Amino acid sequence: MISEIKNNETKICKKCGRELPLSKYSKIYGKAWSVTCKDCIIDTRTKKYYENGLTLYNTDKSMRTKRNYKTIHKSRILTKAVSGIAHIAKDERFVRLLDYKDTWISNYGRSIVKDGDRYKLLRGSCSHDDEELYYTLDKNVYFKTKKEWGHRRKKVKASDLVIQTFIVNYDMLNNTCIWHENNDVKDNYYKHLYPVTELQYGALKQIYDENGAVTETQIMDIINSVEYKPDNWNPWHFRRTYEGVGYLGTDDVDYNSDEYNRWKNMIQRCYNKKIHVYKPYYKDKSVCEEWLNFANFRIWYREHIILNEKLDLDKDLLVPNNNVYSPETCAFMTHYLNTVFEGRGVKRTIEKKEDGFKVQMDILSKKMDVGTFDTKEEAYKGFSRFKEKYIKELAESCKGKVQDCVYNAMLNWKVEIAD
């Protein structure tokens, strides 16, 4: 009875003046009820965070968007000698897209696909709606019903692919538009493209319409201007508060989620000195600029994770000797596969016997006899050949169970003799 009466009691909020049930209020130290309703408390706290964040934003240059381009690993570049396709400029580079089947995009927006043993240049098509160039490509996706990776035809904007491949996008969540230099949507050269929000695009279009041109300084000023940030933007969420480098980039965060915990652990591994004491091999590792923003990492995570599967975030397979966590270097895979490609994951044992040098390879609890060799040098070579062959066989057994980029990287993996 007392509980029912308590649930029916109301109170008038001293801030908004509304009469609300007690459930809309917070208790102070578990005793007295607050004189302000929860909505007003949250509103006051949000405003305070915004004001404090804005003060920091105006003084902390690390919170500003910069004009940066991505570093492209040579393993992803398709040369003219291999493709047989002439380049339209000296600096044109065709870079492999990790999420699409045998597809390369150039920094000028041109695309090449491999059809059998032949490379061909895609023509694409211009949309009647926005006049942008689009390609229809085979995207590598996971089919939940089949529980395997396959391909789905998808129409993709050329400028989106160029930005994704060549330009650092600090805020993928809100940068849903692209500004082309001189408002020329047919110009997809990477240095002429800018990922922007709708408000920023509108402001740039207005300047262009009035003056016939927009300078780079004007573009970056508008991108960093509070006036043209999206309505839900709050500078408080762009503070570099995680190990001095990471930031949330959004107020929509589930702190108990796997996506958040993976991101936080990744940041800590690379930048927390206490962790480096007992895991020194992370001292020279880093996280790319895009993934310092949790909201950016979450977008990639949700597109690549397989729910209800125990998977590791691997950074060692796609790019040999890699030290950077990024969407271009990482993939989800089982713990066993991850261990195979970790430098410290595979144990090699060479034991001197009467008949030669006996070699064994250990991966987790799995032990494999490599063979016996006359000299230690031959033992090293034999181990490398064995491991390389084992990885190729492992790749074939994983075909369809892993992304194409993972499968291809396993097939092409080279083991050094001293490995």
371 contacts 381 by C-beta, under 8 angstroms = no
Q: How many helices (DSSP H) and strands (DSSP E) are in the chain?
A: 12, 21
224 contacts 246 by C-beta, under 8 angstroms = no
Q: What's the topology of domain 74-215?
A: Homing Intron 3 (I-Ppo) Encoded Endonuclease; Chain A (3.90.75)
Roughly how many angstroms between the first and final C-alpha of the chain, as a whole number?
74
Residue 369's pLDDT is 92
Contacts of 4 (CB under 8 A, 6+ apart): none
37 contacts 15 by C-beta, under 8 angstroms = yes
> What are the extents of the domains in the chain?
2-59, 74-215, 334-419
Closest CA to 67 of 160, 162, 161, 167: 167
Residue 5's pLDDT is 37
CB atoms within 10 A of CB 418: 7
Range 296-302 contact pairs with CB under 8 angstroms and sequence separation of 24 or more: 296/169, 296/170, 296/171, 296/172, 296/173, 296/249, 297/259, 297/262, 297/263, 297/266, 298/259, 298/260, 298/263, 299/172, 299/173, 300/327, 301/259, 301/262, 301/263, 302/259
Tokens describing residue 60: 């902390």
Task: pLDDT tens for the chain, 419 residues: list them.
Answer: 334 335 568 899 999 999 998 888 888 777 788 889 998 988 888 889 899 999 999 999 889 999 999 999 999 999 999 999 999 999 999 999 999 999 999 999 999 999 999 999 999 999 999 999 999 999 999 999 999 999 999 999 999 999 999 999 999 999 999 999 999 999 999 999 999 999 999 999 999 999 999 999 999 999 999 999 998 899 999 999 999 999 999 999 999 999 999 999 999 999 999 999 999 999 999 999 999 999 999 999 999 999 989 999 999 899 988 999 999 999 999 999 988 887 667 888 888 888 889 999 998 888 899 999 999 999 989 999 999 999 999 999 999 999 999 999 999 998 876 65
195 contacts 167 by C-beta, under 8 angstroms = yes
- Token look-up 């130290």 returns 29
Closest CA to 22 of 8, 39, 32: 8
Residues 54 and 57: their CA atoms lie apart, in Å, by 5
Residue 232's pLDDT is 85
Tokens describing residue 259: 């996506």
Range 251-258 contact pairs with CB under 8 angstroms and sequence separation of 24 or more: 253/294, 258/305
Tokens describing residue 185: 């949507």
The secondary structure of residue 411, as a DSSP letter, is H
Residue 343's pLDDT is 66
Instruction: Give kind and range of the element (H or E) at residue 404.
Output: helix 404-411
Amino acid letter, residue 349: T
